[in-house]
Amino acid sequence: MTNREALQLPDSDWHGWLRERSGSLLEEVRRHAAAIRSGGTDPEAVLEMWNDLSSALRSASAIASVLANVHPDEAVRTAAEEAEQEASRLETEVGLDRELYDVLAAVDGGRLDEDARRVLELSLRDFRRAGVDRDEQVRTRLRELAERETDVGQRFARNIRDDVRSIRVHPDALAGLPEDFRESHPVGEDGLVEVTTEYPDYVPFMTFCRDRQARARLVAEFLNRAYPANEPVLAELLELRREHAQLLGYHGWPAFDAETKMIGKGAAIPEFVDRIAEAAADRAGRDVAALLERLQQDHPEVTGVDGVDRAFYTEALRRERFEVDSSEVRRYFDFTAVRQGLLDITGRLFDVEYLQVADAGTWHADVASYDVVRRGERLGRIHLDLHPRTGKYGHAAMFELAPGIAGRRLPEGVLVCNFSRGLMEHAHVVTLFHEFGHLVHHVLAGGQRWSRFSGVATEWDFVEAPSQMLEEWAWHADVLQTFAADSEGRSIPAALVERMRRANEFGVGAYARTQMFYAALSYTLHRDVPGDIAATMRELQASYDVFGYVPDTHFYASFGHLNGYGSGYYTYMWSLVIAKDLFSAFDPADLLAPGVAHRYRDRVLARGGSRDAGDLVADFLGRPYEFGAFQRWLDRG
């Protein structure tokens, strides 16, 4: 077995390195494309060249995307964005290259092994979905549509980002908010305090502000972000997508979009949404009744729960019923210990060692790099870039830096998060486990021969399942007690962890119903392209959500996932159903038992996209996945 080389990242002159690296990778793509176009007809050889082309293209995008999101130097980030766009343009060009398609379409799949045949079939499907086999007029229109969709989608997102609203409230409204919130919100000359609709303001304010009227004012602003600006933008986006799907012969966007997912068919989306809504109905009813009862203790005149009170009373009940004080919990989660604990736990689960690489030559001193090794063989390299800094990507995500190819390229991935350096919120510990689930998937599936299967190359509605499942380890005392200890070395008490978990699970029925409202909205808008979006939204909210509509608000105008997810917002819950079922195979009394963990590693993670996700899951579970575990989770509260 040859040990694959890690990328040699530079110590300085990132600009030059990026230019050289992107340039040579894109050149490689063009060279392989030319070779395929003029090449022979040996099926194996054609597929090999196609694999080299795909791998080079993917590498070019990966490097550019990482640097655009994490490099501390703005000039490098800008250059990386340009490199990313260049790679993306070439990808579009390749996808619409009729000559390439004709060569691949002429390959006799019968002479290939099963894996290679799958690569061929999936690649041809990608080509056809891009419209490569259509006549020139249709292809021209498809290209126009794709560009227009990107533009309009970006405008939709930009309108949301730019429309930051605010209210001014009496300083008394800040009673109940955390001290650091009050400190960062000084009283203005008018004697009032400004609170904005940005998440760092909005979330704590809606959770802790005891002034109901102030909450009502803020939620109304929040739910009207990007309205009315996004009303026509959304209508245009939906129309463009419908035309796009219909030009390719699909009934509408959901049918086109669902074809490459586990769910398979657009019409299966509303069936799934209804199934979850039904499964969650009893629990959601109990959740909302408890919230209303508690709300009426303070406001007897109120007859229903909506966005004004939802977060505030959920938090109140969690605190009152389960006595979880987040400042008490934080004491146990020191960042450095958590990071090491995560590596120790996942190292045991997946039978790997993480060897710190001191001279990985990365882009910032905060980054910790490790080789992932099993019995002397290096499987991949990971880079943990976990603290905030100016100009860095602001959320939590895994980025691939290099896709792995058996015997050729070492998989490398970067975890990009924004955690504090000292004590962490437990919610952030959960996020860290979640994102690490993507990272370990990328690395363990990095030994595939075909680029098409390497890493997190599975159906989009399965992608979250391994990460959602790994979150479970952050909710078990046996696991947490291996690393969570206060400054005097006392481990986190098991009883506290149990209360944390029960508090966290409060309200999941209502949560599931709200998620199904969003899922139904994303599907229905794309299927029907309704003239009156507001009316459609209100109808769907009444059918699915257990929380009421806040009058005169227009949530859809700021529902950013309509751009990124299209008609597929159901995916998060879809993969959660599977995550719960996967987890049911583990023994809760011994979450680190090696047998089941190794089986999961080998049958699900390591196989990447080489089989349909449903087949991988069935192979691991010994049966097709089912809803039982998810239903039991819903019914537990």
Residues that bind Zn ion (CB under 5 A): 464, 467
CB of 585 within 8 A of CB of 598? no
Minimal distance in Å, beta carbon 434 to Zn ion?
A: 6
* Least distance in angstroms from the C-beta of 464 to Zn ion: 5
Q: Which is nearer to Zn ion, 430 or 534 (CB)?
A: 430
- Please state, in angstroms and rounded to a whole number, the distance separating the CA atoms of residues 476 and 398: 24
The residues with which 169 forms a beta bridge, in sequence order, are 193
Structure tokens at 238: 């939906």
Nearer CB in complex with Zn ion: 553/575: 575
Tokens (6 digits) for 447: 């030994």
The closest of 503, 511, 509, 574 to 282, measured between CA atoms, is 509
- What burial class does residue 564 get, using C-beta atoms within 10 Å of its C-beta: 0-12 exposed, 13-18 middle, 19+ buried? exposed
Minimum distance, C-beta of residue 282 to Zn ion, in the bound complex (Å): 29
Q: In angstroms, what is the minimal distance from the CB of 430 to Zn ion? A: 11
In the complex with Zn ion, the residue whose CB is nearer, 21 or 438, is 438
Determine the Cα–Cα distance for residues 11 and 33; give it in Å rounded to an integer: 33
Question: What is the rounded (10 degree) CA torsion for 458, 417, 511, 539?
Answer: -80
Closest CB to Zn ion among residues 524, 563? 563
Task: Tell me the C-alpha to C-alpha distance, in Å, between residue 463 and each of 414, 486, 572, 575.
Answer: 17, 35, 9, 7
Q: How far is the CB of 481 from Zn ion (least distance, A)?
A: 26
Task: State the nearest-atom distance from the C-beta of 467 to Zn ion, in Å.
Answer: 4
Q: Is 372 helix (H, G, I), strand (E, B) or coil?
A: strand
Write the DSSP assignment of 85-141 as a string of letters: HHHHHHHHHHHT-HHHHHHHHTS-GGGS-HHHHHHHHHHHHHHHHHTTTS-HHHHHH
Residue 77 or 441: which CB sits closer to Zn ion?
A: 441
By beta-carbon proximity to Zn ion, the closer residue of 425 and 498 is: 425
Torsional class of 107: left (φ above 0), alpha (ψ -120 to 50), beta (otherwise): beta
| Token pair 């080998």: residue | 602
Name the minimum Å distance from CB 558 to Zn ion: 22
Question: If you ran DSSP here, which 8-state letter would residue 550 be given?
Answer: P
How far is the C-alpha of 209 from the C-alpha of 315, rounded, in Å?
Answer: 11
Buried-exposed string 391-413: b where 16+ CB fall within 10 A, e elsewhere: ebbeebebbbbbbbbeeebbbbb
CB atoms within 10 A of CB 115: 16
Report the nearest approach of Zn ion to the CB of residue 531 (Å): 35
Long-range contacts of residues 298-307, Cβ cutoff 8 Å, at least 24 apart: 298/212, 299/212, 304/548, 305/546, 305/547, 305/548, 306/547, 306/548, 306/549, 306/550, 307/206, 307/219, 307/222, 307/223, 307/547, 307/550
CA-closest candidate to residue 251, choices 516, 518, 529: 529
As measured in angstroms, the least distance from the Cβ of 461 to Zn ion is 12
Closest CB 500 distance from Zn ion, rounded Å = 21
Cβ closer to Zn ion: 242 or 438? 438
CB of 438 to Zn ion, least distance (A): 6
Indicate the angle between helix axes 508-528 and 628-635, nearest 10 degrees: 130
Minimal distance in Å, beta carbon 170 to Zn ion? 40
Q: What's the min distance (Å) between Cβ of 167 and Zn ion?
A: 32
Tokens of 370: 């490790």
Cis previous bond, 228, omega within 30: yes
Residues 6+ apart with CB under 8 A from 385: 70, 362, 363, 364, 366, 367, 392, 414, 415, 416, 417
Helix (H, G, I), strand (E, B), or coil: what is residue 363?
coil
Residue 432 vs 477, nearer CB to Zn ion: 432
Strand 412-416 relative to strand 377-385, pairing: parallel
CA distance 25 to 53: 9
Nearer to Zn ion, 54 or 467 (CB): 467
Min dist. Cβ of residue 400 to Zn ion (A): 14
Distance of closest approach, residue 66 Cβ to Zn ion, in angstroms: 17
Amino acid at 155: R
Comparison of 438 and 611: residue with beta carbon closer to Zn ion: 438
Nearer to Zn ion among residue 426 and residue 441 (C-beta): 441
SS3 label, residue 548: strand
* Of residues 412 and 464, the one with the C-beta less far from Zn ion: 464
Cα–Cα distance for residue pair 137/143, rounded to 1 Å: 10
334 vs 464 by CB, closer to Zn ion = 464
Instruction: State which residue, 435 or 505, has the beta carbon closest to Zn ion.
Output: 435
CB of 435 to Zn ion, least distance (A): 7
Residue nearest to Zn ion (CB): 467
Distance from CA of residue 21 to its chain's centroid?
Answer: 28
Measured from the CB atom, the residue of 127 and 462 that comes closer to Zn ion is 462
Residue with smaller CB distance to Zn ion, 456 or 557 = 456
Specify whether the CB–CB gap between 594 and 351 falls below 8 A. yes
